[in-house]
Amino acid sequence: MTTARHPWVGYTLVVGAAALFSLNAGVSRIPMRSGTDVESFTSVRITGAFVMFALIALLTERTAFRLPRGRHLALVLGLGLFGVAGLQGFYNLAIDRLPLSVALLVEYLGPVWVVLWVRFGRRTPVHASMWPALGLALIGLALVGRVWDGLTVDGIGLLGALAAGLCFAVYFLLGEHDAAPMTPLSVILWAFVVAAVTTNLLWPVWQADQLGVDASMLGRLDHLTVPAWAATAFVVALGTTVPFSLLLLALRHLPATVVSVVAMLEPAGAVLVGWLWFAEALDLVQVSGVLLVLVGVVLAQTSRTPAPAVTS
């Protein structure tokens, strides 16, 4: 039986996911700036999310535990290593060292790299709108970074954001492959299995021994403290598991291309979180840059022909 599609439900789910992802960027800073290193925090976040996805599968879809084989195994290995472990690790590095707006904008260039790969790697034609899209995105980034002032952002953080964007692109490209008969939940569950095993081999979760300390809430809330583990629990549950699940549910009501474009609200939300919480004010030129990047990425997302179907 085909599930009824309700576009307004899909839009609501995507907006909710984008809002949680935006807030997550701020909350993630709390444990990372209270003594937990980026690597250990990444391992804890991924491992905790894997446990929650496993519980969801146990309660709703036990067939998701079936071991992938053949090309499906290769798919979840790639998604786990790059689309989860690599993306989360570099993302955490970026948001710890850059203004939230800059970190998320650079990461969200991932769809632009996807279209460039499709055009030059696969030699597949794209709409002419790709080229103004790329130009707008690059000009926008130059404005945000104020390159005429010698690039006013942290170099390591910028490299982390660029690497996160490349991992994001890999996630899109791998996600295009037909995963049938695997369901979206089984794909994401096994991707998190791969990521959790990988990060724990490199940085075991028990090395995150600062999660018991009281941590400042930073920014305008620096007079308040919370246990670092509580902020981490928020990141695992409401910053990872819930928004990922909302996107999975949204795909039942909207095409993947629409979901990915609406999800561009995340970097816009990060600008708002950065301003309200961390007093990360952008001047008028930088705000104009933010808008140019968003327009450029949306144009890039819609420049492929035919539009892809992301299955994860």
- In angstroms, the CA 13 to CA 19 distance is 10
Q: Is there a domain that residue 308 lies in?
A: no
Q: Is there a domain that residue 141 lies in?
A: yes
Q: Would you tell me how many other CB atoms lie within 10 Å of the CB of residue 291?
A: 15
Q: What is the DSSP letter of 119?
A: I
Q: Is there a domain that residue 208 lies in?
A: yes
Per-residue pLDDT of the chain (312 residues; tens, 9 = 90+): 455 678 899 899 989 999 999 999 999 999 999 999 999 999 999 999 999 999 999 999 999 999 999 889 999 999 999 999 999 999 999 999 988 888 888 888 887 887 788 788 888 887 888 888 888 888 887 887 676 665 567 889 999 999 999 998 888 788 767 677 888 899 999 999 999 999 999 999 999 989 999 999 999 999 999 999 999 999 999 999 999 889 878 878 887 667 777 877 888 888 889 989 999 877 888 888 888 888 887 887 777 655 444 333
Residue 215, H or E segment: strand 214-216
Structure tokens at 200: 């724990």
Q: How many domains does the chain have?
A: 1
Q: Is there a domain that residue 22 lies in?
A: yes
Rg (CA), the chain: 19
- In angstroms, the CA 252 to CA 6 distance is 8
Q: Is there a domain that residue 72 lies in?
A: yes
Contacts of 282 (CB under 8 A, 6+ apart): 99, 101, 144, 271, 275, 290
Q: Is there a domain that residue 111 lies in?
A: yes
Nearest to 236 by CA among 103, 92, 101, 136: 92
- In angstroms, the CA 203 to CA 198 distance is 9
* Count of alpha carbons within 13 angstroms of residue 50, beta-carbon side: 22
Query: Which residue type is seen at 214?
Result: D
Q: Is there a domain that residue 277 lies in?
A: yes
Q: Is there a domain that residue 195 lies in?
A: yes
Contacts of 19 (CB under 8 A, 6+ apart): 265, 269
Domain residues for 68? 7-301
Query: Which residue type is seen at 186?
Result: S
Model pTM score:
0.85
